[in-house]
Structure 1
Amino acid sequence: MSPQSIRELAGEILTLCTQLEQSCNESGIPPPNLSAGGKTDFWSDSEVTPTRTTALGLLDQLTTLLQGPHDFLHEFVSTNWDHGALYVFLQSHTLEHIAQSGQASLHDLSTQSGIPEDKLIRILGLLRCRHIVAEPEKDAFTLTTVSEELLKDGDFRAWVEFQLFETRVASAHLADALSHKPNGYADGMSGFKEGWGMEMYDWHAQYPDKGERFRRAMRGVSRALDPADSLLENWIKLHPPTGRTKIVEIGGRYGFASVSLVQKHPDLSFEVRCDSQDFLDRGSALVPSVCGDRIAFSHCPSLLDYSPADDSHTGWIYVIRNLFWNWPDEDIVRLLRTLQRASGPSTRILVTDGVSPISGEFPPHEEIAYRRRDVTTMTMHNMKQRTQEEWMALFGNVGEGVQVETTFERSSHVCKGLWEIRFGGEDGS
């Protein structure tokens, strides 16, 4: 049981911080600091991550105890204004101007952004308190390691901006969306539609600049935090092909696993089948020319209604990556039955998707990210993350003789499952 008293929590935190310091000294890792240009592996080194995250979880408990209910709630909701200030900082390109100058005056920042000095100083003042900018001299501003992070990876920055804009509006309308009757997953309304007047993908199609930002955001999140590709890669390593060597990927709205897999496995061939020519073109553009003859991109008017080619002689694996999370159960069963009819007896279907863990399965400071994911899918799409029990019941509805083996992997922000689906009792040998 976690310690409950202030003294016990403080003692645990001190012990963990001492361990962190010792580990860094032994590994030659510079101590963390927030000054611009500071370089350290402290925040990314896998050896210190478990100790660091545990200390953060205990620190969060201690902070809440010290604040008390009223102050906790006040601080909890007030971060809305911090988010608004950060979005101004990014949209006005003040970040880039400070980066180019090294140190920029308030006057120069006001001139380039078009924001009056008397307003901009208040925005920068709040961001200074949040360690996003520093003010080494009066009315002169520099970046910190926090704001420099937004310059390193444009896809990560796109994710931050998406969170600061679309999701803030959608979450503010979730309560109103849930007040409609009926408000189930099949017949309810998303917070996004309540706030923006249409579903998210339709809204992004109407505003292409925001749609492109969202695609970049999802690409960045997938690259940094999504274990789906790792699960697929590990499965392939543990199951070398015998005879058939073709992998068929179905779907892939904002990225295809095959694009990376084809570069790692010269002995395999791939085909991507998708209902969007735009997504296929984007995926094809990412494939190096030396791999082009081993991967095909096929347009299907509908993933549910198309008549698949006979894969029984060449198909080894079907890959369905991050596709089913917003599909109704009946459509999933329908597609899996279609693939079953098209495939050979030892063909495997590999499904990777999000899982909602059991309550209390992880410590609160880890579980909170997965509970946010539950609320995210509800807010943005009026969909839910299925639990493992729900996934297994769903796959069981495909037909008699279905066999499923599950592997789980998680990151700091998402829990993913890989379900290997077999039919007819075949062992794949």
Structure 2
Amino acid sequence: MDVKQIEALSDLISSSVAQLKQLQSSLKTTEHTAATTRAEFLKPSLEVVAAASQLVALVRTPERYLMDISTAHQLSTSLRVVVETHVVEILREKGQGPKKSLSAKEIGAYNHVNHLKLARVLRILATHHIFEEVSPNVFANNAISIVMDTGKSLTELEARPAEKYDSSNGIAALVGLFSDETFHNAVCTADVLKDPQMTNSFSPYDASFALAWPGTRNIAMYDWLNLPENNHRKKRFGMAMHGMNSMTPSDAILRGFNWSSLAPGSIVLDCGGGVGSVSLPIVQSCPQINLIVQDTSPVVAEGPIFWQANHPQALAQGRVTFQGHSFFESQPAENKNVAVWLLRMIMHNWPDAECVKILKNVRASCNKDARIVIVDNIMLFASRSQEIEGEETGTSDPDALAPEPLLANWGVANSLSYKQDLNMLSNHNACERTVPEFADLLSQANFRIVEVHQAHQSWLPQIVAVPV
């Protein structure tokens, strides 16, 4: 046991907590999310989580630690149970007393789940600080479980189950996606990696998804979701993406590339931008910018509804327009004058060959002064050294690494990025990338990186590239 490192980690926790306390005293609210989504809270919060997780790994026996990790799938399984059986909504609507609690037997009477089994599912979650067991077999929501609340009544959920996630924050849908489709796919990852042919393939048709479901050997996951029999899954997937976006402050897109530096009349094209929700803060804060939202025709057809509700003035002024188009096809000729091409959370969905095709289509429409802004996870190595012998590591952000004695990539505090990387592997045979990997993709399409905004105060890192 490394006592010196344990002491160093303890000291880091103490200093970071002191910083959080000082920041908290400047706020009028003690509400958890309102505080920790502020940019200045992010670094000390990450330090506490990273250091505490590293302490756990140091003080537990290796065998015990491994067993905990190898049985973590039971947490995903349990989360799927509570989301699909409406436990959070039942407790919120039917709960009794100051904590609005119910016994497992009472919950089971509402959702028709055997109460003896349900209690065990809820207990493992309560053991991991999701829900509270207020007395034996009696449970209540807490600050973590309640974020899965869709806001629906039990009557609504029973009458219209397909609408469960509509108008919610999307977090329950995201939990549903991760604990259902993505979980199923991940189970087959070892089988794919051991297969002599599939292990060396980066085709979307050779993702773990191909082995996880009946009849999926020759279809990609996105196409499978579009099948009529999977409409409910497609709908949940869409709300899950909304949930992913809701985890990021709305102004996060402004923390990186200097949008205000663009000249009046400059055109920004949000490539694969859905309805344009991510670009909304750009238009709001930079009135000199015109926006084109580009996605498939059925998706952008919903765009005017979103903008009418959120920024009708920009819609009326013609500052935001919509373009139905697949980024795998050559860009329309009218896009030659685009100043900035925005690709947010696009590249990680696709293997390298498909990414290069997307980038080449953009490059063919770029003028010499255009910029491309990629907003995506940027992977760090867990080692303190970020250099690869014999390879150019490219541009980097010096504030991206965690302070010692933490792992350089922030350890468990940043683990969602690495889980997402494997989600992309199992779902699509795609990946999250390091800066050198982005540099390689961009160079194949005749771009070069000029800025990297990777530090965690940016929330989602940004890479800025120019044509060469």
Same fold (TM over 0.5): yes
- Compute the displacement of 1:111 (Å): 0.9
Q: Number of aligned pairs?
A: 405
Query: Which residue does 2:323 correspond to in 1?
Result: 298
Per-residue deviation, residues 92-139 of structure 1 (Å, max 9, x unmatched): 112111112212233321210111232223223333322323233444
**Uncovered stretches (5+) of structure 1, i.e. residues with no partner:** 31-37, 424-429
Give the aligned partner of residue 202 of structure 2: 186
Match of 1:379 in 2: 426
- Once the two structures are aligned, what percentage of the paired residues are identical? 18
Native 8 Å contact 1:321 1:353 kept in 2: yes
Call closer, same or farther: CA 1:72–1:265 in 2, change over 3 Å: same
Structure 1 CA distance for aligned equivalents of residues 324 and 38 of structure 2: 42
- TM-aligned CA distance change 1:397 to 1:138, over 3 Å: closer
Does 1 or 2 have the higher relative contact order (CA < 8 Å, sep 6+)?
Answer: 2
Matched with 2:464 is 419
Shift, 1:54, TM fit: 2.5
- 2:421 and 2:207 map into 1 onto residues whose CA distance is 13
SS in structure 2 at match of 1:241: coil
2:294 counterpart of 1:249 = no
| TM superposition shift of 1:388 | 2.1
User: Letter of the aligned partner of 1:168 in structure 2?
Assistant: F
> Which of the residues 124, 127, 130 maps onto 1:129?
127
TM-score (norm 2): 0.75
SS at match of 2:170: helix
CA distance in 1 between partners of 2:107 and 2:257 (Å): 49
Amino acid at match of 1:133: F
For the pair 1:272 / 2:317, whether they are aligned, the reply is: no
User: Post-superposition shift, 1:24?
Assistant: 5.3
After TM superposition, the structure 1 stretch with the greater mean CA deviation from structure 2, 363-372 or 74-83, is: 363-372
Instruction: Identify the match of residue 181 of structure 2 among 166, 169, 180.
Output: 166
1:293-323 Cα deviation digits (max 9, x unpaired): 22221223x43444622444x5323333333
SS in 2 for 1:346: coil
Matched, 1:203 2:228: no
Q: Write the distance in 2 (CA, Å) between the matches of 1:316 and 1:335.
A: 17
**Contact in 1 for aligned 2:50/2:412 (Cα 8 Å):** yes
Q: Which deviates further from its counterpart, 149-158 or 93-102?
A: 149-158
- Secondary structure (helix, strand or coil) at the match of 1:297 reads strand
Q: Could you say which residue in structure 2 is the equivalent of 1:35?
A: none
CA radius of gyration, larger in: 1
Task: Write the deviation string for residues 185-228 of structure 1: whole angstroms up to 9, x where unpaired.
Answer: 43471112211243321332231222222222222223424999
Shift of 1:366: 4.7
Pairing 1:80–2:80 present = no
Q: Are the equivalent residues in 2 in contact too, given 1:249–1:273 (CA < 8 A)?
A: yes
**Are residues 1:50 and 2:43 paired?**
yes
Rounded to whole Å, the distance in 2 between the matches of 1:200 and 1:413 is 30
Is 1:8–2:4 an aligned residue pair?
yes
Matches of 1:377 and 1:229, distance apart in 2: 23
- Most deviating of 106-115 and 362-371: 362-371
Provide the aligned C-alpha RMSD in A: 3.4
Task: Give matches, 1:225-240, under 5 Å.
Answer: 225=248, 230=253, 234-237=257-260, 239-240=261-262
- CA distance 1:263–1:245, shift in 2 (3 Å): same
In structure 1, distance between residues paired with 2:234 and 2:147: 23
Asked whether the equivalents of residues 245 and 268 of structure 1 are also in contact (C-alpha less than 8 Å), the reply is yes
| TM-score of the two chains, using structure 1 as the length reference | 0.81
1:57-106 Cα shifts (integer Å, max 9, x gaps): 33323322332221111111222223322221221112111112212233
Task: Return closer, same or farther for 1:251/1:43 CA change in 2, 3 Å cut-off.
Answer: closer
- When residues 303 and 114 of structure 1 are mapped into structure 2, their CA distance, relative to the original with a 3 A threshold, is same
Q: Counterparts of 1:27 and 1:125 in 2: how far apart (Å)?
A: 34
Deviation at 1:281, TM superposition (A): 1.9
User: Which AA in structure 1 matches 2:83?
Assistant: L
User: Which residue identity does 2:234 align to in structure 1?
Assistant: G
Gaps of 5+ in 2: 151-167, 387-400, 402-406
Q: Which residue does 1:219 correspond to in 2?
A: 242
- Residues 1:263 and 1:59: Cα distance change in structure 2 (over 3 Å): closer
Supply the distance in 2 between the matched residues of 1:212 and 1:60 (Cα, whole angstroms).
Answer: 35
Aligned to 2:159: none
Deviation at 1:9, TM superposition (A): 4.1
CA deviation vs aligned residue, 1:157-184 (integer Å, no higher than 9, x gap): 2212211112211111101122333222
- Conservation of the 8 A alpha-carbon contact between 1:246 and 1:317: yes
Change over 3 Å in CA distance of 1:194–1:254 after alignment to 2:
farther
